[in-house]
A and B are shown apart, each in its own frame.
Chain A
């Protein structure tokens, strides 16, 4: 089974937050004691056969929280059973792998049923129930490969191999193959399988359920299972045991889940796993074009919704970001003179300093890290559980604002100072000058930059997948993970991204030329001037006078 070790940096980072939260706030879990409690379960929903995303509720799929998609798979079936037995209301929360443990620790979810193996490292972060699956390690090869007839791992000598990043498949099992040519690890199971399909590697190491699922998508693959053979991988139970995790110290929930698991045995688990694999039901066609049509047919609406979310976040955040940017940029460009009262100068200095810190901080840190920090940090530090939507708009807007502030400050400074003097000379105040003269011109000048930002935002919203925002990239990862159609899914999504950005850039270009107005102007006719006739005292045309 998929058994990532905890990504180290993130764990240190969140250990820090948890430390703060312990000293600052009361744990969220102590508060709720309602009658019909919800059971919030975190999983990736992108990892067949354990958990995947599908567009409908076929085969008993469960709706995903704050999404219109459904989750299904082994983990979902188990989650349903546990919720039923404990009389809880099940909520499936879709989260990125790296966000699972932080979400549990911050109280965003009650439990993780996500195929986690019970590694020592992870035991420090969470409490594990008894195992709910035992996953044996197998090898996947192309059926026409010279390794297809291997009888044990020593027959795989000198093969080039890979597996998934941060899994014991890659870190412990794979190196046991003698003289193996260990290539760098793949980010997800679907990329790992895509690499094998493209013959970039001779074999991949994975677990039996994953391998069985893969066969549905890749008919040219063959599973090499050396179970019972001495010439097999030597893996401890700790690694192959897959368990449910709860927040450290939540013994009540842990014991409750254990009583449910105690009613099942290994045969039940295998039966449920087979049920999940068959529910994944792949009647995937063989040709590339047909697969694309198949994906669009089944998941077209999911893509559209993902694209809609991406566009919504990008558009709203670009607009909000521009407003923030204009506010900050205008204040930053406010001149102070020695003749201003001291209070005004001090106040302006402090405000400018704060805004400077804001701009430098948000420009100077990656948006993905900010997303993790703000979304999970707000729950852990301040017990403020912001919604995924709020977090998404907030993070992208505040980032755009930081970039736009500098653009706008520069834009204001680049306007001819004569414009300000012209406005001053007819008695306009600084604020009036800004609103009616400088900002409109700055806006026109930086419109290409705004359009740049919008396009960047359309693309960069994909980092919000770390907090589980169901935007286009996240949807695509889910589909690729559910069907193991990595290349096909991303072919579709790259086309969608391009259409989105290209359309936006064309619309904004059109807006630019619209703002410039026509190149020609009409001379006013007598009609326009009619109402002033009679006021005109100086009718003689200017004479050429010899000077």
Chain B
């Protein structure tokens, strides 16, 4: 980790666990996210990566443990979930663009209704971020008229338009065909270079290695190994990590 100062901690996950019915999905998860960190969470399907991300955004409520955002406990009942989420945005595997709105409206509605910005400012802002993801010409289109890669870039623009402190990505490229994957990853890389704090659940190992400054490897609901990509990808310590990364490392 590059930024080790205590002050820079944005998110602190402490002893977080989550069970669905009797199935434990997350078990005693602990990790910190510093400002401008790019944290990639990797692991096989069913290891609890997505659930972890959804707990951080309170889309799922943790069974126990704490999540501290800028030092404030947010899992208590008093937390205003909506205002917290406006600062910790999320990009989904299936984009979740609002089907009843145009692209521009998709990127404006949150600014107007949640951040209470005026229409003109919201529009400028929306177009600024749509340009950033290369989708500005499509402002008049409806989501159903666009391809997956285009939709995902717009979903990123929508999240960025809220100007969040942290942006969570839940397998953003898993529903895309290989050509479009690069379009989306390039946008994300750009954001990383710009210093946006991101937590990314991904299967794109090359991207993780390239962009992340912290890798979390999960299996069976535990964090098995955590560290800088140069350690995890080059010299994994845990046999589970080695096994998981085996194919990828061989392909390199």
Which residues, 83 to 117 on B, are CB-close (under 8 Å) to A? 83-87, 89-92, 94-100, 109-110, 113-115
Q: Is the CB of A444 within 8 A of B100?
A: yes
Residues of A within 8 A of B92 (CB): 418, 421-422, 425
- Given A432-B113, A522-B140, A532-B128: A427 and B207 within 8 A (CB)? no
**A337 beta carbon closer than 8 Å to chain B:** yes
Docked Cα-Cα span, A20 to B187, in Å, equals 75
Residues of A within 8 A of B87 (CB): 427
**A390 beta carbon closer than 8 Å to chain B:** no
Docked Cα-Cα span, A429 to B87, in Å, equals 14
Q: Is the CB of A422 within 8 A of B182?
A: no
Residues of B within 8 A of A425 (CB): 57, 59, 85, 89-92, 96, 159
Most buried by B among A341, A444, A522: A522
- Given A524-B138, A536-B131: A427 and B162 within 8 A (CB)? yes
Q: Is the CB of B137 within 8 A of A523?
A: yes
When each residue 61-90 of chain B gets 1 if its CB lies under 8 Å from chain A and 0 otherwise, what string results? 100000000000000010001111111011
Which residues, 236 to 282 on A, are CB-close (under 8 Å) to B? none
Most buried by A among B84, B100, B145: B100
Residues of A within 8 A of B139 (CB): 524, 528
Residues of B within 8 A of A542 (CB): 134, 182-183, 186-187, 190
Q: How far is the CB of B193 from chain A (nearest CB, A)?
A: 10
Q: Is the CB of B124 within 8 A of A547?
A: no
Docked Cα-Cα span, A437 to B134, in Å, equals 25
Contact of B206 among A523, A529, A537, A547 (CB under 8 A): A547
Docked Cα-Cα span, A337 to B61, in Å, equals 10
Chain A: interface residue count, which band? 35 or more
Residues of A within 8 A of B110 (CB): 426-428
Q: Is the CB of A524 within 8 A of B124?
A: no
Which residues, 404 to 435 on A, are CB-close (under 8 Å) to B? 416, 418-419, 421-429, 432
Contact of B140 among A416, A432, A524, A536 (CB under 8 A): A524
**A36 beta carbon closer than 8 Å to chain B:** no
Q: Is the CB of B113 within 8 A of A428?
A: yes
Docked Cα-Cα span, A416 to B140, in Å, equals 23
**B141 beta carbon closer than 8 Å to chain A:** yes
Docked Cα-Cα span, A531 to B127, in Å, equals 10
Q: Is the CB of A547 within 8 A of B113?
A: no
Q: Is the CB of B85 within 8 A of A427?
A: yes
Q: Give B134's nearest chain A residue, CB to CB.
A: A542
Residues of B within 8 A of A514 (CB): none
Contact of A428 among B114, B131, B159 (CB under 8 A): B114
Q: Is the CB of B77 within 8 A of A339?
A: yes
Chain A positions near chain B (C-beta within 8 angstroms): 337-339, 341, 416, 418-419, 421-429, 432, 436-437, 440-441, 444, 517, 519-524, 528-529, 531-532, 535-538, 541-545, 547
Additional 16 contacts, C-beta under 8 A, given A426-B85, A427-B162, A529-B136:
A337-B61, A338-B61, A339-B61, A419-B96, A425-B57, A425-B90, A426-B110, A426-B114, A436-B98, A437-B100, A440-B100, A441-B99, A523-B140, A524-B137, A532-B128, A542-B186
6 nearest A-B pairs in the assembled complex, by CB-CB distance: A427-B86, A422-B96, A426-B110, A542-B186, A521-B141, A547-B206
